């Protein structure tokens, strides 16, 4: 196989997975990023994410051992208003996005350097650059809205209140559902830090919504947080056919490719596996398209379920709360475990099912 010169825009998870794989195969790889250094967007990071993942299967698939940076979750609670429902933690992990030593970004960056990947930082993708891009260029621009506009990738705006800081705690997390938002609030603790996010798709999150979340935190968890930042981003979750690997000869990977869970918004696993698929696409377009379709085969089903059923139910958290009280904690957890088992077989989360990686 003849070696190629490959240009990648985006030094995030998917871009670096693609870069490392291509460099190991003998290609000359240059990664450009708009940030001053690796570690993701300075707007959103450092951040901590709780995600479902088959770490072993995904590590084998992408050819990079991920176990040093994925921290098993010790406890996970789902709150329906104030009602706590303990959730299964099987295959749930915390992972950090930053330039700190224990982050996923640091692990991938070091792997890239060892493989001979070259980096150019403070080098954003500009609109005038797009017509000059060679076929086979890889775009891994994550949540960068201008890139979505350049390549006409349909997207939905999301808005959130975000807070982060230092905290020594066991690696646990919670998810909070309330009618004041159409998505959820969540917090993750690991690696000596925490990350707190209250977000919604397609609608602003008013200060009143944040105040309601703060009241819950104080009342139920005896926790206070005063240093909040309001942030905005985009995600390709506008239609059942959003996932797309190739656009006008250009290879997409990570969030911009649509490899994101349309139900809960999990994006870590999709970024990792789509980075590997993007590397395959450089030399074997047909195989890459087959792999991309395999990983995202249940995207449309999950999207339709959320928009045709879940959002209507989600708007009545009081009904979910009543249902959980009637069922009781034990039966509710059993139902979650059964759902988890079924979900692993027909997951819309790339890398969650070991079957999708082998």
Other Cβ atoms within 10 Å of 311 Cβ, number: 13
pLDDT at 144: 87
* Confidence band, pLDDT 50/70/90 cuts, at residue 327: confident
pLDDT tens, residue by residue, 191-242: 999 999 999 999 999 999 999 999 999 999 999 999 999 999 999 999 999 9
- CATH superfamily of this structure's domain 5-357: FAD/NAD(P)-binding domain (3.50.50.60)
pLDDT tens, residue by residue, 4-50: 899 999 999 999 999 999 999 999 999 999 999 999 888 888 999 99
Give the helix, strand, coil percentages of the chain, each rounded to 5.
Answer: 40, 25, 35
pLDDT at 42: 83
Whole-number Å distance between alpha carbons of 143 and 274 = 15
What is 150-204 written as a DSSP string? HTT---EEEEEEEEEEE----SEEEEEE-TTSSSEEEEEEETTEEEEEEEEESS-
pLDDT tens, residue by residue, 169-203: 899 999 999 999 999 999 999 999 999 999 999 99
Domain extents in the chain: 5-357
- 């707190």: which residue's tokens? 196
Q: Is the separation of the CB atoms in 305 and 314 below 8 Å?
A: no
DSSP state of 109: H
Whole-number average pLDDT of the chain: 93
Coil vs helix vs strand at 224: coil
The stretch 45-60 carries a mean pLDDT of: 93
pLDDT at 358: 67
Whole-number Å distance between alpha carbons of 314 and 222 = 26
* Confidence band, pLDDT 50/70/90 cuts, at residue 350: confident
Percent of the chain scoring above 90 in pLDDT: 81
Q: Which residues, including other chains, have CB under 8 Å from residue 47's CB and lie 6 or more apart?
A: 40, 96, 97, 98, 164, 195
pLDDT at 331: 84
Cα dihedral value 81, 343, 97, 310, nearest 10:
-40
pLDDT at 1: 64
């Amino acid at each position: 196989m003849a070696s190629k010169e490959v240009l990648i825009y985006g030094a995030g998870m998917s871009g670096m997975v693609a870069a490392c794989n291509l460099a190991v195969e003998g290609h000359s790889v240059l990664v450009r990023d708009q940030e001053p250094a690796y570690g993701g967007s300075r707007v959103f990071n450092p951040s901590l994410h709780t995600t479902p993942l088959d770490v072993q299967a995904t590590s084998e698939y992408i050819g990079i051992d991920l176990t040093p940076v994925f921290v098993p979750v010790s406890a996970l609670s789902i709150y329906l208003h104030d009602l706590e429902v303990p959730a299964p933690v099987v295959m749930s992990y915390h992972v950090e996005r930053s330039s700190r030593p224990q982050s996923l970004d640091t692990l991938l960056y070091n792997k890239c350097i060892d493989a001979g990947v070259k980096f150019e930082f403070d080098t954003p993708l500009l609109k005038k650059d797009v017509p000059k891009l060679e076929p086979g260029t890889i775009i891994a621009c994550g949540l960068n809205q201008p890139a979505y506009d350049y390549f006409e990738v349909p997207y939905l705006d999301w808005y959130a209140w975000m807070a982060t800081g230092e905290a020594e705690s066991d690696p646990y997390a919670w998810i909070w559902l309330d009618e004041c938002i159409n998505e959820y609030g969540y917090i993750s603790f690991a690696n000596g830090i925490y990350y707190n996010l209250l977000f919604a798709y397609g609608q602003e999150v008013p200060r009143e919504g944040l105040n309601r979340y703060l009241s819950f935190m104080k009342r139920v968890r005896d926790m206070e947080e005063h240093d909040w930042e309001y942030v905005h981003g985009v995600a390709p979750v506008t239609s059942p056919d959003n996932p797309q690997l190739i656009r006008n000869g250009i290879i997409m990977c990570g969030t911009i490719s649509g490899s994101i869970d349309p139900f809960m918004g999990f994006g870590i696993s999709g970024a990792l596996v789509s980075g590997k698929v993007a590397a395959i696409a450089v030399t074997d377009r047909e195989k890459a398209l087959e792999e991309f379709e395999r990983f995202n085969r249940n995207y449309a089903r999950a999207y339709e379920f959320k928009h045709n059923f879940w959002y209507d139910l989600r708007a009545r958290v009081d009904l979910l709360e009543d249902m959980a009280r009637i069922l009781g904690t034990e039966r509710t957890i059993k139902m979650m475990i059964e759902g988890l088992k079924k979900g692993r077989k027909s997951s819309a989360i790339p890398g969650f099912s070991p079957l999708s990686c082998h």
